[in-house]
Amino acid sequence: MREVAIVGAGMTRFGEIWQSSLRDLFVEAATEAMRNASADHLDAMYVGNMSGGQFVGQEHLGPLMADHLGMAGIPAARVESACASGGVALRLAFMEVASGMSDLVLAAGVEKMNDGADVTAVLASAADQEAEAYHGITFPGLYAMIARAHMEAYGTTEEDMAAVSVKNHRHGALNPKAQFRREVTLEEVMNSSLVAAPLRLLHCSPVSDGAAAVLLCPLERAKEFTDRPVKIIGSGLATGSMALADRNEPAFLDSVSLSAGRAYKMAGIKPSDIDVVEVHDCFSIAEICCLEALCLVERGKGGEAARSGLTALGGKVPVNTSGGLKSKGHPVGATGVAQAIEIFEQLRGESGDRQVADASIGLAQNMGGSGASSAVHIFQRV
């Protein structure tokens, strides 16, 4: 298996982007990634997208996006794994380059969520339809149950979850492409309206439009495209029970633990070797649970992490330096690739005011549904 590097990245601003269509967003991000690597062609392309058909009525995104990028004829396919679609697209691109089938492969993600669809209903399609959605459950409701289970098992508080939001907004305020570039206070989070108790509005990620893309090639060719490649040293993918009620421990994300274990094994590293992390904080409780499943903190200690400063910029394990899904935004198909871009830029020393000093190894974890799928990638500065 060949060693694989990321040599270029491109990303739109995240937010309510009324002036751009789904294809416009994709082409903007993909063109930037190719331009940054001075690449004039692709061998293949994977497009992460959760629900183009429901959000904007557009399926068959592989050939559509290849055509509008000026690359008609290349192998191109849409990848769907709910909110983990981008992370899975990255894994498939990594596998294609590692296998030797292709040399220049684009992994991208895109979503247009603000054009009139019933977002709650579309996102609920990533839950178990018979066991959950049919009975009226929503993702805020599912994550509220996860939060309640964690609170009862470990004494986690609403303030612990609010501290995650405060931290991630502080980071996002430094990110020029974030949807919400403003800080929030603990009091603002705690006084925001209840969505699904105990989760409040400012515990929840927003509805977002956006796209992100990375260009992969064999490490041995990376210097043709950049003098600062970033190597992908680990990739793990796992699944868990779709329905929350079918899990033995609702407060523990099995798929995250399994995907992380596979990525750590491939990379040959320990959790303590990680310098910077992006995790899937679709709700603040998700960051807490992901930290535990990734073995970055002990089980039951995730609630203390943001409040103690452990996961803040300047802390021992900076988490979601981009602002995370909470502040940066969450255009679901694009999220996993955007996480990889944050790590890519951190390891290249390009993150400006949110730069983690001397970062050499980073991890990105992207999750689908309430934890039914998880993709973990580990990156290393070359």
Catalytic residues: 83, 330
List the structure tokens of 313: 């910029």
Q: Which SS3 state, helix, strand or coil, does residue 363 take?
A: strand
List the structure tokens of 207: 């509805």
* Cα distances (Å, whole numbers) of residue 314 to 171, 182, 349: 11, 19, 15
Cβ–Cβ under 8 Å, residues 277 and 294: yes
Half-sphere exposure at residue 38, Cβ-oriented, CA atoms within 13 angstroms: 6
Rounded to whole angstroms, the Cα distance separating 178 from 332 reads 14
At 377, give phi and psi (nearest 5°): -125, 145
Cβ–Cβ under 8 Å, residues 153 and 251: yes
Rounded to whole angstroms, the Cα distance separating 72 from 80 reads 21
At 61, give phi and psi (nearest 5°): -75, -25
List the structure tokens of 327: 């502040």
DSSP string, 95-134: HHHHHTS-SSEEEEEEEE--SSS-HHHHHHTTS-TTTTGG
CA quadruple 370, 375, 380, 382: dihedral sign: negative
Q: Is 31 exposed, middle or buried (0-12, 13-18, 19+ CB in 10 A)?
A: middle
